[in-house]
A and B are shown apart, each in its own frame.
Chain A
Amino acid sequence: MNNIVSKILIVANLVFSLCFMCFAGAVFTFQAGWRDKANKTQSQLTSANDQVQQLQGDKELLTTKHAKELGDETTRANKAEAKVNNLDQNLKQAIGNLANAEKERDKHLADLQVAQQEAQARITETNDGRAEIKRLRDQNNEAIAVRRGLEDKNLEMVGELADAATREMKLLKEIKRLNELLRLNKIDPRDPVIGPVPKDVEPVDGFVVESRKNASRSTELVQISVGSDDGVYKNMKMTVYRDSKFLATIQITEVYPDIAVGLVVEETRNGTIERRDNVTTKF
């Protein structure tokens, strides 16, 4: 029994010894590569640590810088927020002002419409007033024309009145003179007039405008340049003469204010009646 166990142990000892030898040989064989790799890894680790430290420093710098920038940006953000709040308040105030301005504008528009309507009414009223003024001006012009006519007539009447007054004075003087003449001839002026009184012939001088024979060529008609305004009346007898030569006697048959027509009732042989011959009541 001991023999078998010892044999087994010897074999196991052999196996383990061979394994130990193989393990040690493998370690001796590959340890150089492992060492290089370890050195390389160590150097990489060192450089990585350096880089990590550098990056850590950079990170701290960046962190500090970013913290500072963050503080600045935070300050700016706070300022901007305050500004935005102010702007919001200003905007709200401006919106309120705008609403007030719109209300004011609407009110002014309503006032403007009312004013426009009133202005239109005033324009219509003014046009009516102008038409009324034009009508009154026309009436005034007509009244002025009438007044001027009346003034002219008044002046004419005043002149006639003055002439009448002068004539009245002359007639009163003539009546006085005639009364004195009657008294001088021992005639009472208050005695009544008995019998026909011949018509007083006033001296009228004119000239022949035209003369012609009538249809039978027996009687000559003469148109003279004086008429009723000059004291000529119908059936009045007048004398036609030329340079102190008696030509004919005519009897007035037609009388007009400024002309008259006479019929030749007596004709001499001193000549025929022609245009521009003189005519008178007393030759």
Chain B
Amino acid sequence: MATLLRMSGISKSFPGVTALNNVDFDLSAGEVHALVGENGAGKSTLMKILAGVYRADQGEIWLNDRRVTSPDPRSMIDAGVSVIYQELNLVPFLSVAENIFLGREPRRAGGLIDWTTMRREVEELLAPFNLSLDPRAKIHSIGPAYQQVVEIAKALSLKAGIIVMDEPTAPLTGSEVDRLFEIIRNLKASGVGVAYISHRLEELHQVADRVTVLRDGERVITAPLSALSIDDIIKNMVGRQLTEQYPSAAENSREEALRVEGLTKEGVCTDVSFHVHRGEILGFAGLVGAGRTEIMQLIYGYRKKDAGRIIVRGREVTIHSTRDAVRAGIALIPEERKKQGLILGLSVMDNSALTIFDQHTRAGFIQWRNIGKLVRQMVKNLGIRTPSLSQTVRNLSGGNQQKVVLSKWFVRHCDVYIFDEPTRGIDVGAKVEIYKLMQSLAADGAAIIMVSSELLEVMNVPNRIAVVYGGRIVKEFEKGEATEEQVMSYALGLGGKAS
């Protein structure tokens, strides 16, 4: 097999952090080479260097045995490198065809766009994918799986020999994932090399030939997947054996922290009632779209409820806004942590202190000294790696950004913490850390609600599970009481009959 790409000795530093240290990576024609590692291990940086977005401090890039001397985004695209980022780069209100040919629209004499040719070429490009996708459809109206396909088609139209995919399966459902893998196999057959970044280790054996594991900016191992089990990969990622992937929960007290009664919102949820004790973790299982996030936002006052009572530590509270909820002792750590949890342009300090300014103001003036002490302690407790508290959050790695979101709520010491998909998009090592954090919060007397679409974690981490289907809690289980199949069948609205 011809070697398409060879990156050798790549190093890159950002202010205060070494992102990559002497990393090698190569890719052959017709190969899928997976790139895995914990958040902040350097995967994205390496791929951005390949895309010409970042310039490596040291190291060489060879494409088809020719050294690339001055990589920039344009020349790397021209050289046949296409990167499909996790946040897709499509224009929502343009059509599929326009997106594929953006900036390269076929034109007729006089400069007018040649729509006929454009459509025909797009149809040709899309034909191998074997799906019903209208080239005239607007991007915002098609699902994430199709958007992914549009990106791939765009890469192919650019005659890309190398395609980088960053977490391509994250937004996809099971059958869409299968279809994507089918497409990747077609790409392989036609001689394209694919660099494949993913946190979903269980997928790798289905799709990848080789795997490279990065840890803290260094390459740990490159090996054929046939030679490694998932456990081996995890071991290499974290540098330790994960003996305790799901740490066991402690006994909780019988004191009620939160009780919700008859929570109803038309078209969203109906008569949702449940309670959580102090020291307890309550899981909310269900499929995406079952209404779990919406239920949490209703409790938190981010949406207006039609009816329902909310009782915090035995006292009924009126919640009309997020402010009411926070004052009542409820915290919501949102699913989209970057978009909804952080202010990227502000410092670690400003982000972490956002929830406690109101508690530390005297005569109108913020008590920076108290706040500084609390935030510094929290940054230490959570192990947030940052050169200083005035560092802009944008410059931190993804994993550290996540922790800043947590620090912001932990400094406030709430009674109830609602975590919406706390482990989405993060790697195994970081997941265990999150589980442990939730448990230590619970051990300190807080009540935790954990919304998760990952069946295994939602069955194993919490003390109790509520299964949501169609905006209702259809079943509650104690930990260990139900099998995966039972929970899934309730989540599918089958009421446990499928087991």
Task: State whether these chains interact.
Answer: no
Chain B residues within 8 Å of A, Cβ to Cβ: none
